[in-house]
Amino acid sequence: MDTLSPLLPQCPEDILKFLGNESVVDHFKLVTKDGNSLLIGARNTVFNLSIHDLTEQQSLVWSSPEEDTKMCLMKGKDEEACQNYIRIMVVPSPGRLFVCGTNSFRPMCNTYVINESNYTLEATKNGQAVCPYDPRHNSTSVLADAIKTLTNGDMNDGRRVGEGAKCQGPVTERPGKDNAD
C-alpha cells in the first residue's frame, strides 16, 4: 500500500481541465476574460475557451515567420526560445483583440477582429518597446485611452511607455532627491 496516498488531496472527477497542446509545453502566461470566454496566451497560440466548461471554442495560431525563426537560430538561440510567446493581450473594445508576442526575439503586435468562428487580422505593428523580446522576461500592460498601451517590461530601468502614449515624468516615481516626497 502506498503510504502517501492518504496524504494527497483527492480531486473530484468533475473538475474542469484545459490541457492546451498536449505535444509540447504551452507556457501559459496570460488569461483575459472577454464576455463568456477566457482568452489564454501561450506559445504560438491564443486559446479561446468557454468560461462555463473550459471547452475550446476557437484558437488563434500565430507562429513566427520562418525567416524570423532562422535569424533567431543563427544568433545562437535554441529552437524552444525561437517561438512566438504571447506576452501582451488586451481587449481594447468588444470584438477586437490586441496581441503582442516575442516572435523569435523580434517582437510583433497584431490587432484582430473577433468574429463568431474566426479572427481576422486588422493591423500589424512592430512590438519593440511594447512587448518583451525574450520569452523568459515578464511584462505588464495597461490599456489607457482605447489604443495607448503603457507597459512595464524588460528595460533596464523598469520603465517604458508604449507608442502614442503621453506621460509626464516616470511611470513609477520613487521618493528621493529628485521628487518632492
Question: Which grid coordinates belong to 74?
Answer: 543563427
Where does the pLDDT of residue 17 fall: very low under 50, low under 70, confident under 90, or very high at 90 and above? low
**CA gap 139, 101 in Å, rounded:** 11
Residues 107-157: pLDDT tens digits? 999 999 988 778 999 999 999 988 999 988 877 776 665 444 444 444 433
Q: For the chain, which residues make up each domain, given as ranges?
A: 23-152
**CA gap 40, 44 in Å, rounded:** 11
**CA gap 163, 150 in Å, rounded:** 8
User: What is the percent of the chain where pLDDT is above 90?
Assistant: 36
**CA gap 114, 94 in Å, rounded:** 8
pLDDT winner (highest mean) among 22-26, 57-61, 79-83, 87-91:
79-83
User: What is the percent of the chain where pLDDT is above 70?
Assistant: 61
Q: What number of CA atoms fall less than 13 Å from residue 98's CA on the CB side?
A: 18
Phi-psi region of 53 (alpha: psi -120 to 50; beta: other; left: phi over 0): alpha
**CA gap 32, 41 in Å, rounded:** 8
**CA gap 147, 111 in Å, rounded:** 10
Overall fold of domain 23-152: Thrombin, subunit H (2.40.10)
Specify the pTM: 0.67
Q: What sign has the CA pseudo-torsion 21, 104, 124, 131? A: positive
Query: What is the arithmetic mean of pLDDT over 69-97?
Result: 93
